Each structure stands twice: as structure tokens, then as C-alpha cells.
Chains A and B, each alone.
Chain A
């Protein structure tokens, strides 16, 4: 099979708000859905300043760990009202918020992965997206057995991927650079 070289990434630039935000972007489920939680956080740069022109996207399994996608070997399964995907530009306080359902554990090559949400961050000053994951603080046993968290040797680095519980959901701040820099993945 021949291999065709891929198209390079470029930055979203400062004007991403023209093209990318959707009115329903932050709502992976509709408001009022039973069990819905907010995933919130603030994006910071290497000087600790808030990043007010980023776009955060989330992708995740449903509460039973299933995906509505043909490449899932267990079969595609759609959960009505649940998109699995969220998209939110950061606001004047550098914050994003996605309303969703907590995912279930997802099978991996060596057993289950802990419930997680894949996150992409795009912004001016970033020539390519960065990718991280959000894990849930109450899943201590599952997190301890998770192959991705387990591949991060430094406990402080690992902790940058575990959200904090809040009244109506979870908080994961994202630090692009410097002290407590978020773990980003080679995807």
C-alpha cells in the first residue's frame, strides 16, 4: 500500500471565533440531562497568564464506555442526546466549560482504562494542537491501574491529568508551559 505524505498543521490563529465555535458546542448533552456534569478549567500560558483565545475540544465514551463509531470492534452504539464531543472557546477569564456525562471505563490492550476524556487545545501561538486527558478523582483504583497514567513516572506530572471535584462537575486547569505544566501527549 503506498503511503501519501500528510498535510501539515497550522495555527488556528487569533480569529478562530469566526469559524469554529458552535452554539451547541459546549453541550455534549443538553442542559437538564440527568447525570450531566460540567468539565471546567482555565488555560494558562508559561507566564501564568490566562489564555483567552484558545479552543478546547473534548472526546469521550458514553457512561458505559461505548462509542457511536463504526471502528469500535464491539459495534457502534448511539446514546440518544449524547454527542461525546464538546467544543468551547475560552472566555475573557481564560475558562472553558463542557456539559457532558461521565464516561465509563474503556477497554484497552491490557485491561480496562480508567474513565477518561481526551482533550485537544488549539490557540494562536500554537502551530499544532496539544492533546491531554482528563481523569476523575473518585476513580482511585481505576486510575491506579490505568495504562496511560501508569506510563507517567512522576506523580506530580500524573496529577495534572486528574480533575478536581466541584459542586456541579469537575475542574481541570491546563498549563501550557512552566510550573505544573500539564502532561501533553504525543498522539
Chain B
């Protein structure tokens, strides 16, 4: 709303409790890559409550199906990964870009810096993109990624995961994260997983096996719902809500 004193827009909730700290000694590479000065509070104004409107033109024909991007099918267990993107008010986030990337079934990335002795798969690139539908839903077909070693500590292994990138509808909602699989035995030694301070919050990175979505004689399925920041509650809005409840 525009007034004489300027333009006020509703801000988004600040959800610091959810996220890992930038300085986390258990993940060694954070040492030289975290700011030491305290962060400066940025009030949410127009640039922060808007974001690019990205459409279907960003998608290629097989971007939603990572098993159909080559002449033949990749090795590994075929899975459907799907879910709903909502905000913390419970509202679906429709028509927003979801990007994923992942290792192949053997735990190897198609990347020049990944040289560990596991095979590449000529039929797997490991990149996917979709736009959520009107109800905020997304769906990929892929193969279950393998675990892979890294050099953070002796005998360090990353639990199987899929990298996710989301835009939401505001700059404040931008989120890059990782989806994990239930019952992975590697969480106990993974600093990425453990960097999230609250155990309940860690579980929100966990997909669940979804038998209802499996396809007979074709694919297993996992469901992972993602929650982006919603609007900050203002006294005015709560009042409005009470009125609505009365009606």
C-alpha cells in the first residue's frame, strides 16, 4: 500500500531456527567461507518480496524424467520422487521452478571434480527441472542415488541424497537444500545432516517411502514435501482473520 510516508509491503517470517549455521567446524570447508561479522538486518522491501517469474520455457522435454535423457535407461533402482511445495502458512506455492541434481546409482557425479573409483553411467546425467502445478505439486522420475565418499574426515561418506533448488515467489523464499532417504545408516557421521541443529528440523529433509504412489512392475516412490517461508504475521492480519472466523 502506498502512503505519504512510503511503500510498505508484508514481510516474510525469519526462520533462523531451522537452518544450519554458516560456521560449522564439523564441515571443514566452512572455516574460511563464513562471515565473521554479524549479519545486518535487511527489512523486507520490494526487491526482497519479489522474484523472477520463470515459466515452462525453462524446461526441456525430458527434464522431469532423469531416466529418459539418453538412448538407453540408466542403471539403478527406478524411483518416483514427488511432493508439494508449501509456505509456512500452509499455502501451496504454485508455478515455481524446482531444480534437482544428483549422483548416479553408484554414487558418482557426472562432474570433472568427481574422480572416485565408481563407474559413470553413459545413460545418466543427473539433472532435472520441473515447475510446480497449480497445487504446488512436483514429480520427478529418477534412479536412487548411491552414497559417496568425501574427504571431510577419515572414511567420510555422504548419505544418499538429491540436491534441490527452489525459487518460491519471493527472493526471501529462495532455498537450496538436499533430500535424504529414510533409514540411511550414514547420518551419524554426516556433518551436513548434523549441521541442522534441531533434530525435528533434520527430519524435514527426509523423504518417506510412499507405497500409494509406487507403480506396479515399474517404480518405487518417495514423497517429500518442502516448506518455504510464509508471511510474517502482522497484528492487522490476525485481526482480519478473527473477523473471518466470526462469519
A contact set with B: CB distance below 8 Å: 1-20, 22, 45-47, 49, 51, 53, 57, 59-61, 67-69, 71-74, 83-85, 106-111, 113, 116, 118, 120, 122-131, 133, 147-148, 151-152, 157, 176-178, 181-187
A181 near B109: Cβ-Cβ < 8 Å = no
Count A-B contacts at CB 8 Å: 250
Given contacts A8-B202, A152-B40, contact A128 B19 (CB under 8 A): yes
B1-57 interface (Cβ within 8 A of A)? 1-2, 5-9, 13-16, 18-22, 24, 27, 29-37, 39-54
A7 to chain B, nearest CB (A): 5
Given contacts A6-B88, A108-B6, contact A148 B42 (CB under 8 A): yes
B82-127 interface (Cβ within 8 A of A)? 86-90, 99-101, 103, 109-111, 113-114, 125-127
Contact with A along B188-208 (1 / 0, CB 8 A): 000010011000111011000
Please give, as numbers and ranges, the residues of chain B lying within 8 Å of A59 by CB-CB distance.
47, 50-52, 171
**CB nearest to B205 among chain A residues:** A8
B83 to chain A, nearest CB (A): 10
Question: Interface stretch among B70-78, B134-142, B214-222, B228-236?
Answer: B228-236
**CB nearest to A157 among chain B residues:** B37
A73 near B7: Cβ-Cβ < 8 Å = yes
B20 near A9: Cβ-Cβ < 8 Å = yes
**CB nearest to A153 among chain B residues:** B40
**CB nearest to A49 among chain B residues:** B32
Report the bound CA distance from A83 to B114 in whole Å: 33
A187 near B42: Cβ-Cβ < 8 Å = yes
Please give, as numbers and ranges, the residues of chain B lying within 8 Å of A67 by CB-CB distance.
46-47, 50
B197 to chain A, nearest CB (A): 9
B51 near A11: Cβ-Cβ < 8 Å = no
A127 near B192: Cβ-Cβ < 8 Å = yes
Report the bound CA distance from A57 to B241 in whole Å: 36
A119 to chain B, nearest CB (A): 10
Given contacts A61-B46, A181-B36, contact A6 B228 (CB under 8 A): yes
B227 near A129: Cβ-Cβ < 8 Å = no
Q: Is there a chain A Cβ closer than 8 Å to B178's Cβ?
A: yes
Per DSSP, chain B at the interface is loop
Please give, as numbers and ranges, the residues of chain B lying within 8 Å of A116 by CB-CB distance.
47
Given contacts A59-B47, A71-B50, contact A2 B195 (CB under 8 A): no
B52 near A181: Cβ-Cβ < 8 Å = no
A7 near B205: Cβ-Cβ < 8 Å = yes
Report the bound CA distance from A178 to B33 in whole Å: 10
Report the bound CA distance from A60 to B46 in whole Å: 9
Out of A12, A126, A177, A186, which one reaches B163, CB within 8 Å? A12
B172 near A6: Cβ-Cβ < 8 Å = no
A184 near B46: Cβ-Cβ < 8 Å = no
B163 to chain A, nearest CB (A): 6
Report the bound CA distance from A68 to B15 in whole Å: 26
Query: Taking each of B7, B48, B169, B204, which has the highest tally of chain A beta carbons within 10 Å of its own beta carbon?
Result: B7
B18 near A14: Cβ-Cβ < 8 Å = no
Given contacts A15-B114, A127-B22, A187-B172, contact A178 B36 (CB under 8 A): yes
Given contacts A61-B47, A68-B53, contact A17 B111 (CB under 8 A): yes
A5 near B18: Cβ-Cβ < 8 Å = yes
Please give, as numbers and ranges, the residues of chain A lying within 8 Å of B40 by CB-CB distance.
151-152, 183-186
Q: Is there a chain A Cβ closer than 8 Å to B147's Cβ?
A: no
Out of A5, A19, A71, which one reaches B170, CB within 8 Å? A71
A90 to chain B, nearest CB (A): 13
A186 near B41: Cβ-Cβ < 8 Å = yes
